[in-house]
Amino acid sequence: MAASVEGGWRTQELMLDGSWAGTLGTMAALCSTGAFLPQVVRTWRRGGRDLSYGLLGLLLAGAALWLGYGLLVGAAAVVAANAVTFILLALVLFLKWRREGTALPPRGPRPRIAIDMDEVIADTLGHVLEAYNRAFGETLTRESLGGRSLEEVIPAERGAAVAALVLAPGFFRDIPVVAESQRVVRALCARYEVFIASAAMEVPGSFADKFEWLDEHFPSIPPSHRIFCGDKGVLDVDYLIDDSPRHFARFRGTPILFAAPHNRAESRFLRVSSWGELERLLLEPDAPFALRPPAPEVAPTA
Ligand SMILES: [Mg+2]
């Protein structure tokens, strides 16, 4: 955008004289100024999340200073190019300010993973067994269930009482975390876009408990990536980690079954039995069950 000046308006720099120097200068001005046009469109569509206010502020200040310089020395090409650049940059800055929080974020280059809560990151069955044993003086364990559900094992007349235990306010707030899940989820967040997806519609009263539980144990998952849903077939993610095979019925990505006593007869899906196994599966590129490797991060477009 710089130009040599000798005083007076250098209109010949605008290719009016047809010289090579004027032609090159004009093409340079058109390229460097026009480069901001695609950014205006991109910021309008996507909100400009990948642009910093610092970068835009400095570019805007630079264009303003060049504009002042051109006016002082009478360089028409410098004035014209930087006046247009200033306007386009100001427009980008305005669009970022207005649309950053409302425009749809771009689909990132990282694969997406949705992770179930109950029996995957939350030891819900262990919590239910503890509550049941405390209420009825029993000593049931995961092993003693033998792959059966609690309802299949306990006397039928206790079914309503067990349901009341689960529906009690605060029940889902104090569930223990599944071993190693916090550490591996944190590592996954660096290479994948991670969502927590719970079929919480089955117990609508659990929403607040589950939200607070995630705040405490998985703060790296922002509210925008917490999904309380019914049918997980609607999830548009690459991998779904879940202990309930029924959620894979209409899911279009790669299902990963997290082992639990109730699903041990299920053999249709890739099965993992611990978060250590998931770590080897998803984070070690040479692992025997390695899936599609995460794509490298791409530099934001200026
Ligand atoms: Mg579950």
Domain edges within the chain: 11-99, 112-123+177-283
Surface-to-core class of residue 137, CB atoms within 10 Å of its CB (0-12 exposed, 13-18 middle, 19+ buried): exposed
Distance 246 CA to ligand 1 centre (A): 10
Looking at the domain that runs over 112-123+177-283, which CATH code has it been given? 3.40.50.1000
Each residue's pLDDT expressed in tens, for the chain with a length of 302 residues: 444 444 455 554 555 566 777 777 778 888 888 888 888 888 887 777 778 888 888 998 998 999 899 888 888 878 888 898 899 989 888 888 877 766 555 556 788 999 999 999 999 999 999 999 999 999 999 888 887 888 888 999 999 999 999 899 999 999 999 999 999 999 999 889 999 999 988 888 899 999 999 999 999 999 999 999 999 999 999 999 999 999 999 999 999 999 998 898 899 999 999 999 999 888 887 655 544 444 444 444 44
- Residue 191: predicted pLDDT: 87
Give the up-direction half-sphere exposure of residue 175: CA atoms within 13 A in the CB hemisphere.
30
Distance 166 CA to ligand 1 centre (A): 14
- Return d(Cα 18, Cα 16) in angstroms, integer: 6
Please work out, in degrees rounded to the nearest 5, the angle formed at the alpha carbon of residue 49 by the alpha carbons of 53 and 221: 120
What CATH topology corresponds to 11-99? Monooxygenase (1.20.1280)
H/E run at residue 258: strand 254-258
pLDDT value of residue 158: 92
Task: Tell me the catalytic residues.
Answer: 116, 118
Locus of tokens 């779904």: 240
Residue 233's pLDDT is what?
A: 92
Threshold 0.75, pTM exceeds:
no
Rounded to 5°, the CA angle 93-99-100 comes to: 80
Cα-to-centroid distance, 243 and ligand 1 (Å): 5
